[in-house]
């Protein structure tokens, strides 16, 4: 989906962000099923991008978006810790004892992320996100922006 210049920012957000949420949940489900730190790192970047995109539209959705952003931030933090452990393991590669301890900690954080994801992606959350993002803060679909006078030429 592309931004339509004939629509308002609100209308574009309500049209595009539900699809972005669906793509995000799909990526999260895929990442949660993998044991690869590389896959989890890629999903951390996806989480960051999704959260930042939503933050841009905070004026459209109002204060109710903050709770959702907190949930994303929690996932991002868990994924960040996994990435940190992987980086440190690479730095201490010669110290097998330390690397083993860090590896165990990374596995614990990976389990924690999976628990967080399972909670985040439960009980129809994807549909809830899509419904929320498709509607304005007052629960009504945004009206299409009026065509500019130049569009009628």
Q: Please write the tens of the pLDDT for every residue from 24-56.
A: 999 999 999 987 888 999 999 999 999 999 999
Looking at the predicted structure, is the pLDDT value of residue 152 above 80? no
List the domains of the chain with CATH numbers.
9-131 (1.40.20.10)
The predicted structure's pLDDT at residue 1: 77
Q: Give the residue carrying structure tokens 């006078």.
A: 149
Decide: pTM greater than 0.85: no
> Could you tell me if 30 and 39 are in contact, meaning their C-beta atoms sit under 8 angstroms apart?
yes
Please state, in angstroms and rounded to a whole number, the distance separating the CA atoms of residues 62 and 127: 20
59-112 tens-digit pLDDT = 989 899 999 999 999 999 999 999 998 888 888 877 888 888 888 999 999 999
HSE-up of residue 120 (Cα within 13 Å, Cβ side): 25
> Could you tell me if 130 and 18 are in contact, meaning their C-beta atoms sit under 8 angstroms apart?
yes
Please state, in angstroms and rounded to a whole number, the distance separating the CA atoms of residues 7 and 88: 47
HSE-up of residue 84 (Cα within 13 Å, Cβ side): 8
> Could you tell me if 21 and 129 are in contact, meaning their C-beta atoms sit under 8 angstroms apart?
yes
The predicted structure's pLDDT at residue 153: 39
Looking at the predicted structure, is the pLDDT value of residue 151 above 70? no
Q: Which residue has the higher pLDDT, 153 or 18?
A: 18
């Amino acid at each position: 989906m592309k931004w339509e210049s004939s629509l308002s920012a609100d209308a574009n957000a309500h049209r595009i962000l539900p699809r972005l949420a669906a793509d995000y949940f799909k990526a999260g489900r895929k990442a949660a099923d993998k044991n690869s730190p590389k896959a989890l790192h890629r999903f951390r970047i996806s989480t960051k991008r999704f959260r930042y995109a939503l933050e841009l539209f905070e004026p459209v959705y109002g204060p109710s978006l903050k709770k959702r952003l907190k949930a994303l931030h929690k996932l991002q933090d868990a994924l960040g810790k996994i990435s940190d452990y992987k980086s440190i393991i690479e730095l201490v590669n010669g110290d097998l004892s330390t690397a083993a301890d860090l590896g165990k900690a990374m596995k614990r954080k990976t389990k924690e992320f999976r628990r967080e994801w399972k909670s985040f992606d439960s009980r129809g959350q994807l549909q809830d996100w899509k419904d929320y993002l498709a509607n304005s803060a007052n629960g009504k679909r945004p009206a299409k922006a009026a065509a500019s006078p130049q569009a009628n030429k």
